[in-house]
Amino acid sequence: MKELNDYPYIIYRQLPVLGEKNHPLCSSQEGWDFIYEDLKFAAEHLPTKDKVELGCLSSGAAYGMLARAMLYAERWKEASDAAAQVMNQDYELYEDYGKLFTNSRLVPVENKESVIEFGYLKDKFTYSFDYFYCPPSDGGYAEISPTEDLVSSYQMADGSEFDWDNPEMAANPYEGREPRFYATILYNGCQWKGETLYTYEGSKDGFGLGGGTTSTGYYMRKLMKEAIQPKGTSFTGQGDLTYYYMRYAEVLLIYAEAMAMQDKLPEALDALNQVRRRAGFTKDLTAATQTEFMKLLRHERKIELAFEGHRFWDLRRWGLASTVLNGTSMHGVKPIKVGDNEFTYEVVDIDGGKTRVWEERYARFPIPLGEIEQNEAVQQFDEWK
């Protein structure tokens, strides 16, 4: 339902009779009700986190998924109630945002932020994430380049906004930023695997359009294992970090959004500020209206959950994709070396002067052609005919 944005499914409450192909689609309401019933049943019958083995789903996991589902359904009371169930169990924010994403099953740590996780084990169940996304000097393919549009969204450590028009900030753009920036982004002059990483043109990890290296002046740090792939060795079988499908921080942000949409701003702000305090901010945010709060909430989800698979779906469910992703272009930063370890920075268009396109029909996917051909009771959506 999330991916297809209220896509009406066919619901089978019992095994279908063999050969019966023509089944009508359910309504959006019926689809969300079915999901609610399933997850609520699971949440009420699964054991709590403290009574399940590592890697097994708990009541908190089911309530977390229920909260996420109801957020997408815009059923705010059900979303906040489900999130509150998680908040009343044995979960809390891990104290260090950066270290959170370097946890490995091989070195168990007490981490009460994990709600649903995939734990990888070296030489048994591993991944090739670093191989595809790390800088080329590591032997990788650099297939993800964080945009300047994201990087500029990271605030200064004191909570003020970063601004390229501020001469002091522009001269040293990577000094004094909030801790989540350093845990998420590799930038020109940062330390990576015991060396200084440079992204100016001509360096081994330098800026360049066309693939194989950064096209924005940045690489991703979050979700990458700094100890992996020493020079001259293979990536094979080395990936063993924990990937979080759902974290307690997301649950707090779900609760915050759902409470705000019920005009309960004090509760919403408290949940939002819990996430920000863990990020190192000492001054709590305030908002007098729902509109003001949602601006803060959208920023926080963009930063806190970066590279965890939420941004696209958030923009679409908020109805913002048609403005953020349409008629716009993405940007990067080209470091220019002007002396020994001295640089200036130029913000550049990385889309070659072209603009991105988002059509209104992208708000939901078309029904697969194979489904229509096999089921006479199903018709394609008008916008996709």
pLDDT digits (tens, 9 = 90+) for 169-226: 999 999 999 999 999 999 999 999 999 999 999 999 999 877 789 999 999 999 998 8
Residue 283 scores a pLDDT above 80: yes
pLDDT-based confidence at residue 254 (cuts at 50, 70, 90): very high
Domain membership flag for residue 345: no
Domains contained in the chain, number = 1
* 66 within 8 A of 37, measured Cβ to Cβ: no
State mean pLDDT over 162-170: 98
Domain membership flag for residue 42: yes
Which residues touch 312 (CB under 8 Å, ≥6 apart)?
321
Domain membership flag for residue 83: yes
pLDDT for position 18: 56
pTM exceeds 0.75 for this model: yes
CA distances to 205, 214, 233 from 135, in Å: 6, 8, 15
pLDDT for position 11: 62
* 321 within 8 A of 315, measured Cβ to Cβ: yes
Domain membership flag for residue 374: no
pLDDT for position 267: 99
* 245 within 8 A of 120, measured Cβ to Cβ: no
Which residues touch 98 (CB under 8 Å, ≥6 apart)?
179, 180, 182, 183
Nearest to 231 by CA among 140, 142, 141: 140
- Within 13 Å, how many C-alpha atoms sit on residue 315's CB side? 14
pLDDT digits (tens, 9 = 90+) for 34-93: 999 999 999 999 999 989 887 789 999 999 999 999 999 999 999 999 999 999 999 999
Domain membership flag for residue 271: no
Residue 1 scores a pLDDT above 60: no
pLDDT for position 321: 96
Residue 7 scores a pLDDT above 80: no
State mean pLDDT over 354-376: 91
Domain membership flag for residue 50: yes
Report how far residue 174's alpha carbon sits from residue 160's, in angstroms, rounded to the nearest whole number.
14
Domain membership flag for residue 62: yes
Report how far residue 277's alpha carbon sits from residue 300's, in angstroms, rounded to the nearest whole number.
12
Which residues touch 316 (CB under 8 Å, ≥6 apart)?
5, 362, 363
pLDDT for position 124: 73
Report how far residue 237's alpha carbon sits from residue 21's, in angstroms, rounded to the nearest whole number.
44
DSSP H helices in 74-192: 76-87, 97-100, 129-133, 148-151, 167-171, 179-184
Domain membership flag for residue 60: yes
Range of the domain at 23: 1-90
State mean pLDDT over 118-136: 82
pLDDT-based confidence at residue 328 (cuts at 50, 70, 90): very high
pLDDT for position 89: 96
- Within 13 Å, how many C-alpha atoms sit on residue 273's CB side? 13
CA distances to 165, 168, 368 from 162, in Å: 9, 10, 44
Say which CATH number the domain at 72 has: 1.25.40.390
pLDDT for position 146: 98
Higher pLDDT, 333 or 224: 333
pLDDT for position 225: 86
Report how far residue 207's alpha carbon sits from residue 140's, in angstroms, rounded to the nearest whole number.
15
Report how far residue 281's alpha carbon sits from residue 51's, in angstroms, rounded to the nearest whole number.
34
pLDDT for position 288: 98
- Token output for 191: 């330390």
